Amino acid sequence: MSVSRCQQEVSSQEFTRWVAYWRFHCIDSEGWHQAAMIAATVARSQGAKVAINDFLPTEKPPQTNEDMLAQMMTASGSRIK
């Protein structure tokens, strides 16, 4: 949806409300933190000793094509030539 179309369909007041909702009710843009909080709460309710960070994705550098090929070959038992 384009900005101009949004301006035609949504009033400034409604847009301001949506921005406020997004900024104050959404912890992060991808939802990882909220999902991690839920997962940790469920795990703790079952007696697990976990932290929210246990459920957050770790930052990893992107894999190269060569790295992916090497992992596939290792998993299949083949040797890279």
For the stretch 20-36, pLDDT in tens is 776 666 656 567 888 88
Q: Where are the alpha helices (DSSP H) in 1-81?
A: 3-9, 12-25, 32-45, 65-76
pLDDT confidence band for 15 (50 / 70 / 90): confident
For the stretch 42-58, pLDDT in tens is 999 999 999 988 988 87
Q: Give the helix/strand (H/E) hosting 11.
A: none
pTM: 0.42
pLDDT at 45: 93
- Quote the CA–CA distance of 74 and 51 in Å, as a whole number: 33
> What are the CA-CA distances from residue 7 to residues 13, 20, 21, 73 (Å)?
11, 17, 18, 53
Instruction: Give the DSSP letter of residue 49.
Output: -
